[in-house]
Amino acid sequence: MSIRQKALNLSIQLMKKTVQTVGGSKSTAILAQISEEIAPVLTENTEFGAISFFCPGKIPEWRAKTLLTKEPETIEWINDFNTTDVFWDIGANVGVYSLYAALRGLFVLAFEPSPGNYYLLSRNIELNGIDEKISAYCLALNDKTKLDSFYMANTELGGALNSFGELRDWQGKEFTASLKQAMVGFSIDDFIEQFKPPFPNHIKIDVDGIEDSIIKGASNSLKDHRLKSVLVELDTARKEYTGEVIGILKDSGLDLSKKEHFPMFDDGKFKNVYNHIFIRSH
């Protein structure tokens, strides 16, 4: 921990102790007022304009600051879209790529089942005044339409590594959930058939473990020639699993064009996780 971070932590603790000396409900009211007033808004500049992010925690701040650097291949992919295209962001988290795509001029459907992340996603849409460009849904996509549980590995704002319908993590291993949240799930095909939303020209799938289920629930939509490209984050260490997902997409007329991740992920537990970009070939 840096000296700067230690000094910041000490200042926060001193402030809390000072307020708590007031005692009772008054100290709670003061802390509530302070938390509301000082929750930071971070602005990041892009070639298409500035994007503001509500950052009431370290992870949302990190996601905002790494908008352009965490996954440059995702930014490059979005930059190739036509501005009249429709982008579906499945596993939108706090909305960094949804906001970026909307700023480019695309219409976006953002799907985020985590209640805390959905709150931040909604606040970020509000902050940037782009509710006409992004429709955000707090639901899970899957291979079946059903009521089930959303298992959260953690409840940190901006956190990830959760799963819908089964306790399976991004490595295919069982994990212990810190929270089981009731959730409605749809297959992509059922969602489109029932609600007739704007059809996706591009789909991003970043869901940490049930990519295969989402792909299987989109068998009709994947074959539709209006769908031009798909980006799926996959753990290549799971060779059979990754091969199955690639095979389904290829059979749907989408060929693997690029497999990439930023060098910052070359070491550590995510070293085998890559964004796979598929482009319509037929």
Q: Are residues 8 and 97 in the same domain?
A: no
Q: Are residues 208 and 231 in the same domain?
A: yes
**For residues 54 and 118, what is the distance between their CA atoms, to the nearest angstrom?**
12
**For residues 122 and 53, what is the distance between their CA atoms, to the nearest angstrom?**
10
Q: Are residues 226 and 179 in the same domain?
A: yes
Residue from 174, 143, 105 nearest 248 by CA? 143
Q: Are residues 94 and 34 in the same domain?
A: no
For residue 131, give every residue at least 6 positions away whose Cβ sits within 8 Å of its Cβ, in sequence order, or none. Answer: 125
Q: Are residues 23 and 102 in the same domain?
A: no
Q: Are residues 125 and 23 in the same domain?
A: no
Residue from 173, 83, 89 nearest 134 by CA? 89
Give the domain CATH number at 204: 3.40.50.150
Residue from 72, 13, 105, 68 nearest 261 by CA? 72
Per-residue pLDDT of the chain (282 residues; tens, 9 = 90+): 556 556 556 666 776 676 667 666 677 776 666 666 677 899 999 999 999 999 999 999 999 999 999 999 999 999 999 999 999 999 999 999 999 999 999 999 999 999 999 999 999 999 999 999 999 999 999 999 999 999 999 999 999 999 999 898 889 899 999 999 999 999 999 999 999 999 999 999 999 889 999 999 999 999 999 999 999 999 999 999 999 999 999 999 999 999 998 777 788 888 999 999 999 998
Q: Are residues 243 and 208 in the same domain?
A: yes
Q: Are residues 7 and 63 in the same domain?
A: no
Number of structural domains the chain divides into: 2
Side-chain half-sphere of 95: how many Cα atoms within 13 Å? 32
Q: Are residues 90 and 201 in the same domain?
A: yes
| Token code pair at residue 271 | 């070293």
**For residues 272 and 48, what is the distance between their CA atoms, to the nearest angstrom?**
32
Domain of residue 23, residue span: 1-38
**For residues 195 and 213, what is the distance between their CA atoms, to the nearest angstrom?**
20
Q: Are residues 20 and 51 in the same domain?
A: no
Q: Are residues 176 and 259 in the same domain?
A: yes
